[in-house]
Structure 1
């Protein structure tokens, strides 16, 4: 989905003009970036959390030449999905067969079925 598709969807569901929705979306994204520049987290309850992650400078390797290079320190915007988003994306649970019987009688029957029929018989 592109930004224009998202704007169209929001405009239809809220009966607002595309221009209004674009302004609100731009303001939302500007607010998230402004907070990130200050090093603050932005939490949208039930949806997720935007946070800034710091990465130290490190040595790397140029894959084309194998030459060692210095990778500078950086800050990156990260997103962690909240419970509401995780639940919305979760796959339905598939019921599994119970392999172990819980009652003593059922356990005894399972052991009896697992033992070979010739157990305990004398061979001639």
Structure 2
């Protein structure tokens, strides 16, 4: 099960209202969109992206390698690829695992 963008915006909006920070749902959605765009730019440049209280997104590279075609069993070349890995924060790990 996953949380939808609307549910995330609603949750953040409600929590900010409780803490006395009036911000509209449209503003919350705009901040999330801008954060996503900024995170993509940072990852493209090779920088880690912190997710406060959760962990970090880290850009990594997977080297080119030889694999096997599952249908025919013949060797095939798999090109190098850039990936994003998530490194969880200690607080998140403890919250999930008690």
User: TM-score normalized by structure 2?
Assistant: 0.83
The CA distance in 2 between the partners of 1:12 and 1:45, in whole Å, is 19
The CA distance in 2 between the partners of 1:6 and 1:46, in whole Å, is 16
RMSD: 1.4
The CA distance in 2 between the partners of 1:79 and 1:14, in whole Å, is 26
Name which of 88, 91, 96 aligns with 1:81.
88
Structure with a larger share of its residues in strand? 2
Higher Rg: 1
User: Deviating runs (4+, > 2 A) in structure 1?
Assistant: 43-47
Instruction: Give unmatched runs, 5+ long, in structure 2.
Output: 18-22
What is the count of residue pairs matched by the alignment? 91
Higher relative contact order (CA 8 A, sep 6+): 2
Matches within 5 A, 1:29-40: 29-40=36-47
Instruction: Give unmatched runs, 5+ long, in structure 1.
Output: 92-124
Q: 1:3 matched to which residue of 2?
A: 5
The CA distance in 1 between the partners of 2:14 and 2:51, in whole Å, is 23
Deviation readout 1:90-119 (Å, 9 max, x if unpaired): 23xxxxxxxxxxxxxxxxxxxxxxxxxxxx
Matches within 5 A, 1:42-121: 42-91=49-98
